[in-house]
Structure 1
Amino acid sequence: MLQIILADDNPRVRAAVQLLFEQTGLARIVAEAETFDELQALFADAELTFDAILLDWELPGMIQYDGTVSDAFLKFLKERYDAYIIVWSSHPGAAQAALQTGADAFVSKGEPVDSLEHILRMLANDTNAHEESA
């Protein structure tokens, strides 16, 4: 089962993701954050282990004063953790920026939940293959 950090400010979205995880048995949420500050604070815990982070591109605090998203944080995740970064947004136009910044996948919040489920299934298969070869 995948271990996921969920970062989204909308409680309804977090509840829907939790329900998806319960129904599919693909993942479980190991930590949650509603703001970028909360998300950054999670990484102060040296014991934090996770397979992926599901990150709302519009998470409060992610947008910098110049209108850009903090790519430094995604670079930090890539360098320090062997984790998959799934960015999602209600703005499909954010896909290119998210992927260029370092996200491994992008999901539009307007797409059916099957899109997220498909990515999680691929990740679960990849993680299982990685663990079996180790």
Structure 2
Amino acid sequence: MIRILIADDQPLVRAGLRTVLASDSDLEIVAEADDGRGALTEVARLRPDVALLDIRMPGMDGLTAAETIRARHPAVRVLIVTTFDEDRYIARALECGVHGFLLKSGDPYELIGSVKAAMTGGTVLAPPVAQRIVGLLHGRSLRERLSARAAVESLTTREREVLTLLAAGESNAEIAHDLHLAEGTVKIHVSAVLGKLGLNNRVQAAVFAYRSGLAG
């Protein structure tokens, strides 16, 4: 059972998310909050598996809450679910290490798959968000792209394969299947990739892969 917290200041949105998620017997809504501070309180009290956070909420916003949750409770998967896909929001969310950035305008029932993907180590980005990230990366300076490419070349062949699949949003289990490896071996390769590139999480690894030209 995947235990979920929903944080959104709009009761109708919370009700809609609750209805969608409750349709899957593997998911359980354990708490709700109407602002970021309430979300932090509930996460500290209940330690849910997943926290779904809106961005704009009164008091503490969702991005500040996400950053705090990632720092204090790293085992909790954090997904942003919002109507705001501005570059500055996307960039800050990625920097604080969220496990997904979804839009309320998307297919509601894709949310179920996104929650499950996050629990298995996947990184979930709504297609419009992924396109914006690629666009931002294409606008990077040549020096940044060359630097990223040189860093990728320092990886072993297997580590580059793992990084490419990370950029595709695959979980450790999916990477293990594709590369015919044990899942424990994949975890070791992922840790090595993050360490060598100086990255903190899988989302940053995916962005790095696009920046270097390895993916995209």
TM-score after normalising by structure 2? 0.49
Aligned length: 120
In structure 2, the gaps of 5 or more residues are 122-171, 174-183, 185-216
C-alpha contact (below 8 Å) 2:22/2:29 kept by paired residues: no
Distance 1:123 1:104, change over 3 A: closer
Q: Compute the RMSD of aligned alpha carbons.
A: 2.5
Distance 1:12 1:96, change over 3 A: same
Q: 1:83 aligns with which of 76, 80, 88?
A: 76
In structure 1, the gaps of 5 or more residues are 64-68
Match of residue 52 from structure 1 = 50
Paired with 1:62 and 1:106, the residues of 2 have a C-alpha distance of: 18
Paired with 1:23 and 1:43, the residues of 2 have a C-alpha distance of: 23
| C-alpha displacement of 1:15 | 1.0
Match of residue 98 from structure 1 = 93
Structure 1 stretch displaced more, 109-118 or 48-57: 109-118
Larger helix proportion, structure 1 or 2? Answer: 2
Q: 1:120 aligns with which of 115, 121, 139?
A: 115
Distance 1:24 1:80, change over 3 A: same
Deviation track 1:61-119 (CA, whole Å, cap 9, x = no partner) reads 234xxxxx52xx43432233201000121112233322222211100111111332221
Deviation track 1:17-49 (CA, whole Å, cap 9, x = no partner) reads 11112212231111110122322333553xx22
Please give the residue correspondences for 1:13-32 in structure 2 after superposition, counting only pairs within 5 Å. 13-32=13-32
Paired with 1:2 and 1:84, the residues of 2 have a C-alpha distance of: 11
Distance 1:97 1:25, change over 3 A: same
Match of residue 3 from structure 1 = 3
Q: Report 1 or 2 for greater relative contact order, CA contacts < 8 Å, sequence distance ≥ 6.
A: 1
Distance 1:91 1:74, change over 3 A: closer
C-alpha contact (below 8 Å) 1:57/1:98 kept by paired residues: no
Identical amino acids, percent of aligned pairs: 25
Work out which of the two has the higher radius of gyration on C-alpha atoms and give 1 or 2: 2
TM-score after normalising by structure 1? 0.74
SS for the counterpart of 1:107 is strand
Larger strand proportion, structure 1 or 2? Answer: 1
Paired with 2:53 and 2:27, the residues of 1 have a C-alpha distance of: 15
Paired with 1:60 and 1:83, the residues of 2 have a C-alpha distance of: 23
| C-alpha displacement of 1:125 | 4.6
Paired with 1:86 and 1:118, the residues of 2 have a C-alpha distance of: 12
Match of residue 39 from structure 1 = 39
